Structure 1
Amino acid sequence: MPQPARPAVEAAGLTKAYGRTTVLDGVGLSVAPGTVFALLGPNGAGKTTTVRILATLLRADAGSARVAGFDVAAERSRVRRAISLTGQYAALDEQQTGAENLRMVARLSGLSRPAARRRAAELLERFALAGDAADRRVGTYSGGMRRRLDLAAGLVGDPSVIFLDEPTTGLDPRSRQAVWDEVRRLADAGVTVFLTTQYLEEADRLADRIALLDGGKLVAEGTAAELKQQVSAERLDLTLVSPEAYEEAAHALDHLTVRRDPATRTLGVTTDGRAAHIRDLLDAVDPDRTLIERFALHSATLDDVFLKVTRDG
């Protein structure tokens, strides 16, 4: 029988603290090669710290990790040769053109001048930055163009693992879609993509596997479908007639609530989607039919999962 492939990224018991503030608290994870893994969490959850440890830019206080088969503490140079890291902000020289940026990175990676020129041309074409865009100063680029060039720069050395730390933050929908398309192409080509994001739709669309990080701890992990099943198959949104009715319903349905919006007097509660269950819910919270203004049924989303597990955690 063939042996299962070794994880492209694996970590156990990662811990990091700054003074009395614990940023990571025993984080463990495993990422299969050639897949997209999304690490979700709010600001301050520990996502960037995790990436910095795995990319050898920061040492953990405790725990261990291997990336591309190499120990991130004992074999840092070998890890660095196997990976690429694209941060939240494009690391580009704005005074150089797009082509000059890529040629510079290629030369720093050890390519000869002719090889650097060829590699830059390949990547400019791949990321729709050839032609006039290639010869424009990066300072004139839009946010989407900068992000595409930054991704291209990260691929100069053909990494087997690429870390993308919130790569679409601040991008317009069209630019975000372009980045999503490229992430999927990378995974299809066998590259392992480790993605951190605050956009739950992004993880839902891209990731083969998702982990939720909150307060430095992993609070849930699985495929998007598995995580949604932890909440329910469906979500029933109830809009109440008044703030008082909202508070009354919120108290009665607290154990089922996954979303709360006092401003619109809307509660989202879990349901299996059956008509009988929905009728029972409505009758239980509003037997006199005077509190609920309207309701709507939706499929459960990763937003529901995140709000529930972080609240419960």
Structure 2
Amino acid sequence: MRCRFSRRRVRLRPTHGPEPAPMPDPSRRALGLLAAGAAVLIWAGWIVAVRGAVSGGAGGGAGALSPVDLALLRYGGPALLLAPVWLRLGPLPRGVAPWRVAAMSLGWGAPFVLLGAQGLRSADVGLFAALVPGGLPLWVAALSALFLGARLNPAARAGLALIALAGALALIAATPQARAGAPWLLAASMGWAVYALAYRGSGLGPVAATAVVSFWSCVMLTPVVMVTGTGLFALSPAAFAAQFALHGVLSGVASVAAFALALSALGAARAAAFSALVPALAVLGGYVALGEAPAPLTLLAVLCAVAGVTIINRAQ
């Protein structure tokens, strides 16, 4: 018996690493870029808006809105607009551990805005940018190492070192009054990291997570408002509509939907790279809208934060 062997050549793919993610088609990629850009602009603008609201900047009057008022706007809007989502899922979505829902709601829900807004009463936008969005990866890495036993590669360590340097430089450049807000901002950033870790294993999409967190935030805020009251009723209809659109619609819903679209169109790594722009855009917005000119050391801190976040996103 004679055996015949095929002479056809077979090309073997290299096995030394994962294949790069395929690039999306140009039109979908352009849509993803626009969505990611819109999301980071809204996030940066929200920081500036909160600073202006609680400090009286940009014509807002001294302490025009309290942290409680801002939390009501930020989560009341999404809870109302996304009611069909959380009504369908339920306050405790099936398959999601209750502790995850609690961690997500406490980390990125009403306490996050209450802490961040309280910090911005004294801290400027530059310090917020360096410690909260800039410091988020540092908290995520620390909590992951502490509770999950995660290990970092050398590139990620370099990025975290830059972020730590950014926080130190921002604190050195800040005035004593601004430093008084730092503990509130650090607590807000840590809460955001808790949310990020709890969200990863929840199985929820961004919009669904926003709906559930907004529902529980309103539950948490109800007894607070009964004790402290709210200044929202003192706003004119036009002023209330503007604040609701900015905090509730744009920041609470539109930015989440835009970033979800960016994730779908660009992939997680490419979309996450845009988050590195938030600190720089926030500082620019603070200068343009509020007249908060950053000190040279603050600018260096923001650049370090942007570089650190970029390195970490690329290292993942």
Q: TM-score, normalised by structure 1?
A: 0.24
Choose between structure 1 and 2: higher helix proportion: 2
Choose between structure 1 and 2: higher strand proportion: 1
Structure with greater Cα Rg: 1
Q: TM-score, normalised by structure 2?
A: 0.23
Report which structure shows greater RCO (CA 8 Å, sep ≥6): 2
